[in-house]
Amino acid sequence: MTDPTDPVAHPRSIRSFVVRAGRMGTGQIRALEQLGPRFVVPYGAAPLDVPALFGRTAPLVLEIGFGMGDATATIAQTLPDTDFLGVEVHTPGVGALLKHIDERQIGNIRIVQHDAVEVLEHMIAPGSLAGVHIFFPDPWHKKKHNKRRLIQAPFVQKLVAHLAPGGYLHCATDWQPYAEQMLEVLSAEPGLANTADGYAPKPAYRPLTKFENRGLKLGHGVWDLVFTRAPDGASRRSPQGGAHGRPGDPGSVVA
């Protein structure tokens, strides 16, 4: 049987993820059954009617790969006047976020369980996003797998096309080589402007995850990158030095 994740078998569809089986808790299963019909949006090849989806008109932030949804739920509670569309391929994560939505009574989150690239291309109208969050994407540590990393120039171009003027792209990683690649790719995109001199201080709205807290206590680095869509496609390049400019510098580890 052909492996659907094999880039040799599918040269035009190298994916940044592999769907892995995961255990589902009873709470996650119940949340999927009871809340899925309300909060999970079926994938479709037409742009979403976002005001109808949320029942209001508000800034929309796309989060790609929300994991188990802790940070997503916390951010949505912190920013109640913003709507969030979370995209995740793993069913346990979808169930976990639905459980958070239920327990915390959160109304400004919707979920699409599908490949984020296709969601962006077919379900999100160009120029409609106030922001994009990509927190701790799979770093694909092995060099031969680097091509699977999500943050590559062609995908960043798609993100820029879907950001509203002044909209932002916020990425975070705890893997230094990926941080360096992200900074290089984002800085080279003419439609983006860096908000910092290299790496950015952690924005207040992004909570620390349990995993991140453990890493920081062990002295591991965490790097945030925050870029905005430049007006009229003009870029504002920032030098890659300065307080947050070099992975490994004390200033690049944000708490």
Cα separation, 74 vs 69, in Å, equals 9
Residue of 131, 141, 126, 80 lying closest to 107 (CA atoms): 80
Structure tokens at 41: 């949006």
- SS3 string, 119-184, reads HHHHHCCCCCEEEEEEECCCCCCCHHHHHHCCCCHHHHHHHHHHEEEEEEEEEEECCHHHHHHHHH
Structure tokens at 189: 């995109």
Instruction: Give the 3-state secondary structure of residue 109.
Output: strand
CA distances from 108 to 60, 84, 171, 253 (A): 10, 6, 21, 31
Structure tokens at 183: 């900074």
Residue of 75, 69, 17 lying closest to 39 (CA atoms): 69
Which position among 70, 102, 138, 249 bears the catalytic label?
A: 138
| Whether the Cβ atoms of residue 47 and residue 41 lie closer than 8 Å to each other | no
- 70 is known as an active-site residue: no
Return the amino acid letter for 70: D
Structure tokens at 167: 């909209």
Active-site residues, by number, are 138
